[in-house]
């Protein structure tokens, strides 16, 4: 631990008061009817970061019924794409203007570094602007070759009321991967953030009002998965659920939403491999592996928590990753130089530690780290950068989502073996390949089971590039035009031109 790069002091300013997060229902920012709240203690600083209204079935019902009314009377769905885009672009401007306020709360509640929070909160404005562009440019299709007397038009219409449920690892970013796209499509929404990180979602309400979003179009209910989230996924007035979180809850949601046959879009976990060939640029690959595993303390669905390295270079490559790991700045997330912050909760830190201990018991070797990390002045809600070698495909650490700064190392000899190891997982979110050989890269890209494949890079993302998983990593897509289309129904209009239709019933 003494060889690690640990930052204990801070540069960003702490807020004077804890943030008071409240519901946003039918255009009004309100407390719970019973006045109950929950406290969020910052995992890094141990201070009260926020107090959030604790919603019940009453607030959830009110939010769903406001969204239903707002959808059915067309106050938003019947606006032109141009008018919807104008509001979304104003929200984007307000997000940028409020970047620092959002970022400080995001860091205090989640434990992530302030520089990352600034990038995610401010950067989310681009998702809003991209969604606004789709509101104006998306269109259906026309069929002009069905015969001289027929014109066919396929139109896209908003799906209706959408429940949006988000997790704690990227609270404002994931919200912005969903909400502006649903709004751009003309849907109305009920949003529930994780109870651990409610504030930046609640802060957005003020911006939606200022941007001129009509009342009832977006409603935010704070509270736990049960009762708020579960009612949002079972209620008959909801047409679609868009969820990001654990695979277990995703599976439960497909069941609760099944009774009313809602559309369900799920962005779940991953066990994402990066495969490294000897001909790769190994310096770049080692840097990307280090980034891929420690970014957001590994609490990331896209974390590259396992690498599959060619046997000939495995020892040297791991040594390089270990050396880089020691240089990564862990510690106080309120310092601008910090790259890796705190673990979200004490329970979660225990879970990470158990994975490492179980791997050790099963014969794996911990080459670096492997335990909680204490940051002077802040306590031990941190975890050391950890590299576990000699991992075999049957170990839990090779198969399950650890969601921590823990890298598992496996080795291969042939391309076939590498692909088979990469595909040997219940998940299929993302995968990466490092090689200078274009044939190797293309073959890997075509045969690997994943929603995104990165070649000689890791986690580059763009609003234009759609995102989602195969296998148990989810269903449906987010962002990009495919993500936008998830919030639309298609309807076929078949029109006869002139009085050319032959009667079915003939005069006898």
Nearest alpha carbon to residue 216 among 419, 113, 319, 70: 70
Active-site choice (120, 195, 267, 486) = 267
Nearest alpha carbon to residue 165 among 205, 134, 198: 198
Q: Is the Cβ of residue 157 or residue 291 nearer to ligand NDP in the bound state?
A: 291
Task: Looking at 362-433, list the stretches that DSSP marks H as alpha helix, in order from N- to C-terminal side.
Answer: 396-399, 415-423
Q: Which residues lie across from 241 on neighbouring strands?
A: 163, 264
Rounded alpha-carbon distances, angstroms, from residue 330 to 111, 115, 369:
11, 13, 12
Q: How many residues bind ligand NDP (CB under 6 A)?
A: 26
Catalytic status, residue 464: no
Per CB under 6 A, the list member of 37, 138, 246, 481 interacting with ligand NDP is 246
Contact between 167 and ligand NDP (CB under 6 A)?
yes
In terms of C-beta density within 10 A (0-12 exposed, 13-18 middle, 19 or more buried), how is residue 506 classed?
exposed
Cis, peptide link before residue 72, omega less than 30° from 0:
no
Q: Is the Cβ of residue 173 or residue 317 nearer to ligand NDP in the bound state?
A: 173
Active-site choice (301, 367, 389, 441) = 301
The distance of closest approach from Cβ of residue 302 to ligand NDP in the complex, given in angstroms and rounded to an integer, is: 8
Per CB under 6 A, the list member of 81, 113, 186, 269 interacting with ligand NDP is 269
CA separation for the pair 110, 99 (Å, rounded): 16
Contact between 244 and ligand NDP (CB under 6 A)?
yes
Catalytic status, residue 267: yes
Contact between 55 and ligand NDP (CB under 6 A)?
no
Helix (H, G, I), strand (E, B) or coil at 324: helix
Contact between 469 and ligand NDP (CB under 6 A)?
no
Contact between 396 and ligand NDP (CB under 6 A)?
no
Residue range at the interface with ligand NDP (CB under 6 A); choices 28-36, 177-185, 227-235, 405-413 = 227-235
Q: Are 130 and 464 in contact (CB under 8 A)?
A: yes
What is the footprint of ligand NDP within residues 278-317 (CB under 6 A)?
A: 301
Nearest alpha carbon to residue 206 among 337, 373, 28: 28
Q: Is the Cβ of residue 183 or residue 190 nearer to ligand NDP in the bound state?
A: 190
Which residues, at least 6 apart from 2, have a Cβ–Cβ distance to it below 8 Å?
A: none
Residue range at the interface with ligand NDP (CB under 6 A); choices 100-108, 160-168, 276-284, 483-491 = 160-168
Per CB under 6 A, the list member of 27, 123, 225, 278 interacting with ligand NDP is 225
Active site residues: 267, 301
Which residues contact ligand NDP by CB under 6 A?
165-169, 192, 194-195, 224-226, 229-230, 233, 244-246, 249, 252-253, 268-269, 301, 348, 401, 403
């Amino acid at each position: 631990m003494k060889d690690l790069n640990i930052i204990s002091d801070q540069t960003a300013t702490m807020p004077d008061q804890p943030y008071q997060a409240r519901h946003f229902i039918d255009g009004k920012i309100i407390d719970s009817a019973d006045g109950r709240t929950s406290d969020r203690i910052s995992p890094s600083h141990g201070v009260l970061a926020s107090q959030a209204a604790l919603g019940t079935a009453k607030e959830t019902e009110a939010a769903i019924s406001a969204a239903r009314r707002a959808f059915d009377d067309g106050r938003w769905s019947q606006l032109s794409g141009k008018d919807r885009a104008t509001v979304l672009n104003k929200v984007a401007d307000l997000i940028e203007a409020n970047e620092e306020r959002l970022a400080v709360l995001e860091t205090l509640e989640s434990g992530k570094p302030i520089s990352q929070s600034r990038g995610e909160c401010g950067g989310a404005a681009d998702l809003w602007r991209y969604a606004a562009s789709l509101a104006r440019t998306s269109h259906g299709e026309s069929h002009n070759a069905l015969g001289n007397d027929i014109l066919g038009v396929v139109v896209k219409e908003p799906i209706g009321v959408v429940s949006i449920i988000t997790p704690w690892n990227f609270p404002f970013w994931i919200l912005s991967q969903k909400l502006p796209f649903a709004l751009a499509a003309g849907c109305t929404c009920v949003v529930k953030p994780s109870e651990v990180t409610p504030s930046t979602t609640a802060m957005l309400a003020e911006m939606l009002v200022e941007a001129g979003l009509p009342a009832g179009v977006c409603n935010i209910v704070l509270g736990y998965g049960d009762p708020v989230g579960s009612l949002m996924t079972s209620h008959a007035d909801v047409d679609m659920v868009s969820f990001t979180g654990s695979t277990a809850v995703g599976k439960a949601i497909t069941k609760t939403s099944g009774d009313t046959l809602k559309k369900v879009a799920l962005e779940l976990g991953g066990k994402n491999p990066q495969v490294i060939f000897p001909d790769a640029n190994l310096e770049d690959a080692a840097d990307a592996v280090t980034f891929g595993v420690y970014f957001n303390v590994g609490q990331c669905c896209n974390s590259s928590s396992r690498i599959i390295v060619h046997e000939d270079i495995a020892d040297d490559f791991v040594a390089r990753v270990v050396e880089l790991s020691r240089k990564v700045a862990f510690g106080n997330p309120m310092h601008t130089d910090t790259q890796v912050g705190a673990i979200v909760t004490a329970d979660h830190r225990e879970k990470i530690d158990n994975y490492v201990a179980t791997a050790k018991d099963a014969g794996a070797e911990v080459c670096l780290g492997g335990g909680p990390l204490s940051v002077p002045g802040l306590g031990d809600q941190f975890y050391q950068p950890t590299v576990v070698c000699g991992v075999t495909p049957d170990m839990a650490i090779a198969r399950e989502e650890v969601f921590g700064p823990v890298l598992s190392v496996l080795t291969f000899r042939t391309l076939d073996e590498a692909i088979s190891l990469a595909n040997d997982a219940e998940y299929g979110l993302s995968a990466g390949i490092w090689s200078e050989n274009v044939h190797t890269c293309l073959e890997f890209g075509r045969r690997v089971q994943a929603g995104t494949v990165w070649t000689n890079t890791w986690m580059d993302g763009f609003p234009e590039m759609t995102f989602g998983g195969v296998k148990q990593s989810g269903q449906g897509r987010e962002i990009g035009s495919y993500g936008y289309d998830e919030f639309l129904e298609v309807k076929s209009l078949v029109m006869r031109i002139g009085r050319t239709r032959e009667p079915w019933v003939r005069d006898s």
